[in-house]
Structure 1
Amino acid sequence: MGYPASGKSSVAREFEKKGYAVLNRDKAGGTVAGLLPQFQQLLKAGKDVLLDNTFPTAESRRPFIEMHRKWADILLAPMSCLWMGTSIEDAQVNACHRMVQHFGHLPTPEEIKVSKSPNIYPPVVLFKYRKELEAPTTAEGFKVEKKPFIRHHPKTHTNAAILLDFDGTLRETISGRKFPNDPKDIKILLGRKKKLKQLQKDGVLLLGVSNQSGIAKGNPTEDQARACFDATLKQLGIKMEYLFCPHRVPPIGCWCRKPMPGLSVHFIEKYKLAPGKCTMVGDMTSDKTFATRSGFQYVDAKDFFA
């Protein structure tokens, strides 16, 4: 049991190789409770069974524990609960990797809404699980083992990059606005141009990530925001791919708004980045949290450009 995208199915595959029958609601369809008849048949046949589901509450677990108890006389092994120790932050990263691999890009809230895949969902699903979670205990009738989460990156992911925030990190506005809506309102911060041009000359991959919630209110428009990003890069004298979140808050209904890890996962998948070799440069707590969740080093802009 554990968060959606906590790595349960990966563990389940290992048990399947050992001969266990695996029951998973996402594969079977219907509800978790709907797995009970098949669970009973497998127990009756004396099979080893792994229940691969989230099971957030004691009530969701209770029918399966009672069913196991009913057949305890013919079963050789006691019932155990393998509780995934994956944090909500690591589950968020896992979920984003699944979605980027599924779509080939980070899905928009609209794409998530119409998807039929059980592995495609908004961030609120994980927050709901955290709110509902009742930690399993031996008093429920099983042995509890918590499995630590260890992230393994593909061996092909060896590349390094520096990811950069824009507003407050690379630029400010002449007018004092939080975000520019006119390229003429952009002022590049001291020391940025020289350092970034040298880094690019040295072959360092530079990537941009930005929150632009004003787009959802129409100020700036998405076209104006892009024009301002392009003007910023022109003033800096560099070429750099960038991604930005245009969605309104609250609530957070997308995976692309920092500190959500969606933008970093997109770049990790696209450029085969090794997170431990990557650095995030920003000026906000959200930038630092974004870096931590993504597995990047974090350097504050004032220190990076000192």
Structure 2
Amino acid sequence: MEPDRLDQQRHAPPAAVLFDRDGTLVHDVPYNRDPHKVRPVEGAREALDRLRAAGVRIGVVTNQSGVGRGTMGSVDVYRVNRRVEEVLGPFDVWRVCPHHPDQGCRCRKPKPGLILSACRALRVPPSSVVVIGDIGSDMEAAQRAGARGILVPTEVTLPGEVNAAPAVARDLRSAVALALGEIEGGDEIAPEDLPAVAGSRT
């Protein structure tokens, strides 16, 4: 296993933390249109409440290409997002890309549009923002926006994405500890420890 990367550098607490939704805050259900299928990942509410208690604003930036693909509607996305807030508490901002990957929009991650829009809504500079997600497009979008990225790998995360990530945390609790400038938390996941790739990358 590679050396622990969680405590390489201590950062000041961010003004805001933006989260990917599926696979990061809630278990990924491909093109989910059913609020009853929303299941938070372990420790999600605790991690979010820790940020709220610290006065850090929080938001969600999520690709939902099912709208553009015609498998669900904008109302379905709204209902699922509302359920996420019911189980995880309120967020200060939501930004959703509904476009098909072939549409060439400016918002779909790995483009930075969702993050930049959220930063404008929160009136914070991207340089004071942390983005937490589970795949490389989240990290690339953060980098392109000028924000700091923290990867929390799942079964869909590719080994190369782990290697390229600026910071890697084992779980959301560790990612939040790292975002807040603390050094305690879980260990990094080395590429050889990742499960086989499965699931969706919407």
TM-score when normalising by structure 1: 0.45
Whichever residue aligns with residue 255 of structure 1, its letter is R
* Map 1:123-272 → 2, pairs under 5 A: 160-173=15-28, 177-250=29-102, 252-272=103-123
Query: For residues 63 and 30 of structure 2, what CA distance do their matches in structure 1 show?
Result: 11
Contact 1:169–1:301 (CA under 8 A) maintained in structure 2: yes
After the TM superposition, which parts of structure 1 deviate over 3 Å for at least 4 consecutive aligned residues? Answer: none
5+ residue gaps, structure 1, are 1-158
* Map 1:23-38 → 2, pairs under 5 A: none
CA deviation after TM superposition for structure 1 residue 217, in Å: 2.5
Rate the CA distance shift 1:239–1:273 in 2: closer, same or farther, 3 A.
Answer: closer
Q: Highest Rg: 1 or 2?
A: 1
Match of 1:298 among 149, 158, 161: 149
Contact 1:211–1:258 (CA under 8 A) maintained in structure 2: yes
Whichever residue aligns with residue 170 of structure 1, its letter is L
Q: Deviations over 1:71-105 (max 9, x none)?
A: xxxxxxxxxxxxxxxxxxxxxxxxxxxxxxxxxxx
Determine which structure has greater relative contact order: mean sequence separation of CA pairs < 8 Å that are 6+ residues apart, divided by chain length: 2
Query: For residues 246 and 261 of structure 1, what CA distance do their matches in structure 2 show?
Result: 15
Rate the CA distance shift 1:272–1:238 in 2: closer, same or farther, 3 A.
Answer: closer
Query: For residues 193 and 271 of structure 1, what CA distance do their matches in structure 2 show?
Result: 21
Structure 2 residue aligned with 1:49:
none
Contact 1:160–1:205 (CA under 8 A) maintained in structure 2: yes
Structure 1 residue aligned with 2:136:
285
Contact 1:163–1:280 (CA under 8 A) maintained in structure 2: yes
Query: For residues 202 and 285 of structure 1, what CA distance do their matches in structure 2 show?
Result: 28
SS in 2 for 1:257: coil
Number of residue pairs the alignment of both structures matches: 144
Contact 1:255–1:261 (CA under 8 A) maintained in structure 2: yes
Query: For residues 121 and 15 of structure 2, what CA distance do their matches in structure 1 show?
Result: 12
Query: For residues 241 and 267 of structure 1, what CA distance do their matches in structure 2 show?
Result: 6
Q: Deviations over 1:173-232 (max 9, x none)?
A: 5xxx32321000111000111110121122111011000001112322110111001101
Q: Deviations over 1:43-86 (max 9, x none)?
A: xxxxxxxxxxxxxxxxxxxxxxxxxxxxxxxxxxxxxxxxxxxx
Contact 1:200–1:238 (CA under 8 A) maintained in structure 2: no
Q: Deviations over 1:5-40 (max 9, x none)?
A: xxxxxxxxxxxxxxxxxxxxxxxxxxxxxxxxxxxx
Structure 1 residue aligned with 2:9:
none
Whichever residue aligns with residue 280 of structure 1, its letter is V
Query: For residues 237 and 274 of structure 1, what CA distance do their matches in structure 2 show?
Result: 24
C-alpha RMSD of the superposition: 1.7
Identical residues among aligned pairs (%):
30
Contact 2:25–2:40 (CA under 8 A) maintained in structure 1: yes
